[in-house]
Amino acid sequence: MTAIRPAGSGRPAPTAPGPSAGGGRGVATTARGSLFGLAGSAANALFGFVLVAVVTHGLGARGAGAVFTGVAAFTILSNALKLGADTALVRFVSRDLELSGGGGVPGLLRISVLPTLLASAAGAAVLVCSPGLAGLLLPELDPGQAAALIRLFAAFLPVTTVALVLLGATRGYGSVVPFVGVEQIGKPLLRVLLAVPLVLLAPSVGALSAAWLVPGVLGLVAACVSLRGSRRTHPGTGRPPPQAGEFWAFAGPRAISSVFDITAVWIGVLLLSALGTAAEAGVYTAIGRLVTAGTLLQLAIRLAVAPQISRLLAGGDAPGAHHLHRLSTRWIALFSWPVFLVLAGYPRTVLSLFGPGFSGGAAGLVVLAAACLVNVGVGNAQTVILMAGRSVWNLAVAGAAFVVQLGSAVWLVPRYGVLGAAVSWALAIVVDNGASALLARYRLGFRTVDRGYVCAALVGLGSVALPVCAVRTLFGDSVPGLFLGIVLSIGAFGAAVWRYRLPLGVGEFFGALRKRGSENSR
């Protein structure tokens, strides 16, 4: 959606397709933000992997399954009780910066924070007053222990929810530093630092759950400090804030679709805990960590590109937004496809890193790796839809994917356990991303496939698939095979990227970084 700028804004509309000046600035900002986001995503994946390994080694698959079932329920609730305000703030704050320099941000915060605080407090009260819920989610724990665990998670629910909303506002200012610093580096690192001594001295389900929750308090403090600094830097021109109706008309559908999005990640854990065993829930959690690690570049670019696309559309620069989407999708596909090919080639070896008993989830990992090829292949189509203001479309797509996942999971999980949960999630991934890509292309005009994209597909898939298949045939799914396959794949991939660096847009990416650095040095 292209917004019309106010009369007298002085900015001419672009007259030809291709990257405009605004689009170039968007590329530069996205490039720098993507690198920082990538570092944060890598740290998050690393610390998340370490945390899962620490908890599973300390408590076993059964105890770890109980901890991560609580984490799953907490994560779903906290994301639901944001009421879509975090994504709405990304869009509305970035638009306000483009149109008034940030004058409407205080009003946006008044509109968004209080409702989410009240909703999360009410959600915590419901958890505390529902003793039967503990037995349903954690049937393998003692009833008293299960109830105490649910109360512990409830106590931290308002803190985490409000922090996520405030971090959404900081992203609207165009910087990913606060979000990455808090959610992807600070909290994951603190969780590991707290969990390690607990596992060594007094491992228990309650103590390790507390280690996961406590860093959320520091996250709220950091979010408040960062947002205060951003507001001070961008005081704006005093433009009146949008009406609450306009804000919540966008946030409302997003609130529901965000529940579908986060539930897609965790519903398998909950169903395996309720319909299967805690051990299966622990194995599935490990698979989810690996899949999430494979999408770290996509998340990094999403964090950086969302406010840029919103600002370009608000400023009337649709060609610049289209170019930014095409280029960022190319980067995501090029560097993410090889990761999932490696995971699909050596699933048992990779899962064995979590400890004994986890290699049984190999088939599920292969299924999800295949589905994620579609996920990263369409880039951030969902982000395009949201930043164009089409939150209702996003809700319809996410709802359809959720129905597919839940319906198939209820039938598959009792019969096939971890594999059934993985298949149901894979189906949802394909439905969600495929439908979003079609809407972005045919309703909003955001084209993804071009010459550079085709080149990225050939390089990202071909240069890695050949050595992985050859080494897997010779050495099997083993540690030596994994090591040799990774080494040969990196060599072939690096050579191919260098050979086709021009159609891949590698030069534009690093050129944007150099340009941004020179601008900051002046």
Co-location of 483 and 362 in the same domain: yes
Confidence of residue 50 (pLDDT cuts 50, 70, 90): confident
Please give the average per-residue pLDDT across 29-36, as a whole number. 56
DSSP state, residue 9 = -
With vertex at residue 45, the alpha carbon angle to CA 495 and CA 496, rounded to the nearest 5 degrees, is 10
Q: Which residue has the higher pLDDT, 130 or 223?
A: 223
364: helix, strand or coil: helix
For residue 357, what pLDDT is reported?
76
Q: If we measure between CA atoms, which residue out of 56, 4, 30 comes closest to residue 358? A: 56
Q: Taking the CA of residue 65 as centre, how many other CA atoms within 13 Å lie in the half-sphere pointing to its CB?
A: 28
Residue at 24 is within a domain: no
For residue 510, what pLDDT is reported?
55
Q: Where a domain ends, among 248, 266, 284? A: 248
Provide the number of structural domains found in the chain. Answer: 2
Q: Tell me the three-class secondary structure of 83-147, residue by residue.
A: CCHHHHHHHHHHHHHHHHCCCCHHHHHHHHHHHHHHHHHHHHHHHHCCHHHHHHHCCCCCHHHHH
Residues 6+ apart with CB under 8 A from 30: 301, 304, 305, 308, 324, 328, 512
Co-location of 231 and 293 in the same domain: no
Residue 458, number of CB atoms within 10 A of its CB: 12
Residues 6+ apart with CB under 8 A from 370: 340, 344, 426
Co-location of 201 and 302 in the same domain: no
Co-location of 202 and 72 in the same domain: yes
Co-location of 405 and 516 in the same domain: yes
Co-location of 409 and 309 in the same domain: yes
Residue at 370 is within a domain: yes
The percent of the chain in helix, strand and coil, each rounded to the nearest 5, is: 85, 0, 15
Domain holding 244, by residue range, is 29-248
Co-location of 212 and 67 in the same domain: yes
Q: If we measure between CA atoms, which residue out of 255, 239, 325, 272 comes closest to residue 23? A: 325
Q: Which residue has the higher pLDDT, 17 or 148?
A: 148
Residue at 21 is within a domain: no
Residue at 79 is within a domain: yes
Residue 445, number of CB atoms within 10 A of its CB: 13
Q: If we measure between CA atoms, which residue out of 407, 447, 412 comes closest to residue 431? A: 407
Co-location of 201 and 344 in the same domain: no
pLDDT, tens digit (0-9, with 9 covering 90-100), for 342-384: 999 999 999 888 777 788 889 999 999 999 999 998 888 998 9
Q: Could you tell me what percent of the chain has a pLDDT over 90?
A: 26
Co-location of 345 and 297 in the same domain: yes
Residue at 20 is within a domain: no
Residue at 233 is within a domain: yes
Co-location of 243 and 297 in the same domain: no
Q: If we measure between CA atoms, which residue out of 484, 491, 493, 185 comes closest to residue 336? A: 493
pLDDT, tens digit (0-9, with 9 covering 90-100), for 221-259: 999 998 888 888 877 665 655 667 888 999 989 888 888
Residue at 7 is within a domain: no
Co-location of 321 and 398 in the same domain: yes
Residue at 512 is within a domain: yes
Dist. CA 235–CA 105, nearest whole Å: 9
pLDDT, mean over the chain = 81
* Residue 514 reports pLDDT greater than 50: no
pTM exceeding 0.85:
no
Co-location of 297 and 237 in the same domain: no
For residue 447, what pLDDT is reported?
87
